[in-house]
Amino acid sequence: MRYRTLVLLAPVLAWAAPANADEARVHVTAGAAHAVGNSQQREFGAGGGGSATVELAIGRMFGVQASGGAVVLSAGSSPADPNIAKQSTGSAFLGTVGVRFRPLGAYRVAGPWIDANGGLAQTGSQGRVAIDAHLGWDFRVAKKTRWDVGPFVGITQIMQSDASFRPDDARIAWAGIQISMGASEKGRPFPEPKHEQPEPISHDRDGLAEVEDLCPPVDEYGMAGGDAVAGSAGCPGPVVKLVGDRIVLDDVIHFEFNSPLIRRQSTGLVRKVAELIVANPTIVDVSIEGHADARGTEAYNQQLSEDRARSTREMLIQFGVDGQRLHVVGHGKSRLAVPTPFADARNRRVEFIVSRSGEMAGPPPLSPSTVPKVASGKRGQP
């Protein structure tokens, strides 16, 4: 029968589709076709056709597939032999099974592919053996979808029996478009980290390993564990100095991205600034001046720099500084420490300008009772 090929193909399609629903891929092609070689190139004109394929993926690079399709060619010129009647429109129905290979499948869901197939072709009342191969390139329509589209070319060969009146095989060249429901987007796996017990080391200046360290690192508030005091021998802390009319820090105060929230890693540094101000009554006024980097609008950066300066003032007050001695100024991106249009972290900073009289005394440490509670922010670039 005319549809014998599709009937034979149906069980293969039924097996392939549900075998792995998550990784089953469906491909639909449509394109132009033309007979090539021998007398058929003359006797048949241009035509077209298409196919539908269900593929079962075996890993990311290989798949097995079953296809059903058809091709129709228009009538061409009369045969060179006048004793042979002119061909009418030619058609064939094809059913094949085969394999598909994706050279870049281990790294991307779309890309180049090649397949090879074999099966049956129904031409008129005759069933013939058919083989075909295709080469194409898929492009992912959008990252959050499984839809791919791309061009392909191919060749189909329909075998003729040696006992036929004209035993030449039919060869049909294809070129067209394939639309696919391809592989789902998945993250690339990373190797499992190796968990090895490190040798005990000292993270401070006393030279003792942490397993017997009498001076452990300070906590998130700048406070040392146990009876140790940050800033004592063997317990280094942030360096804060009064130089001229400025309070100079050995680090910048880090803020959450696009936020005035001070990161935990900078809480100890703000605490040391508070210690210096409290210990020096000669400091009568501190201007807390916020700065932003070059990204964003003038208005946005101006507001963000003011908010960050205000957030620093509030933390200094929590650490015991009299708020009457503190005021805030925002400069936005008007005073870049590093002149660059890019997002340089050195430009996201708070500076302290002081007014003072008399001599400066040495800074004693604050009492732990003055340690404020700080909101926990997400870690990321300041």
pLDDT at residue 365, as a whole number: 47
Answer yes or no: pTM beyond 0.85.
no
Strand partners, 326: 286
- Are 44 and 33 a contacting pair, CB within 8 Å? no
Q: Give the model confidence (pLDDT) of 184-237 as tens digits.
A: 765 444 344 343 444 444 444 444 444 434 344 544 444 444 433 334 344 456
At 278, give phi and psi (nearest 5°). Answer: -65, -40
Q: What's the pLDDT score for residue 190?
A: 37
What would the mean pLDDT of 76-84 be, rounded to a whole number? Answer: 70
CB 75 within 8 A of CB 210: no
- What pLDDT was estimated at residue 101? 95
Residues 6+ apart with CB under 8 A from 20: 56, 57
The pLDDT of residue 313 is: 94
pLDDT at 82 over 70: no
Check whether 48 has a pLDDT greater than 70. Answer: yes
CB of 203 within 8 A of CB of 183?
no
Which DSSP string do the residues of 38-83 spell out, in sequence order? Answer: TTHHHHEEEEEEEEEEEEEEETTTEEEEEEEEEEEEEE-PPPSSTT
User: Cβ–Cβ contacts within 10 Å for residue 169, how many?
Assistant: 15
Label residue 291 by pLDDT band (50, 70, 90): confident
254 secondary structure, DSSP code: P
Structural domains in the chain, CATH included, are 4-181 (2.40.160.20), 215-370 (3.30.1330.60)
User: What band does 239 get if pLDDT is binned at 50, 70 and 90?
Assistant: confident
Tens digits of per-residue pLDDT, 161-196?
655 556 567 889 999 999 999 887 654 443 443 434
Task: Decide if 292 contacts 310 (C-beta within 8 A).
Answer: no
Q: Is the pLDDT of residue 126 over 90?
A: no
When the pLDDT of each residue in the chain is averaged and rounded to a whole number, the result is 75
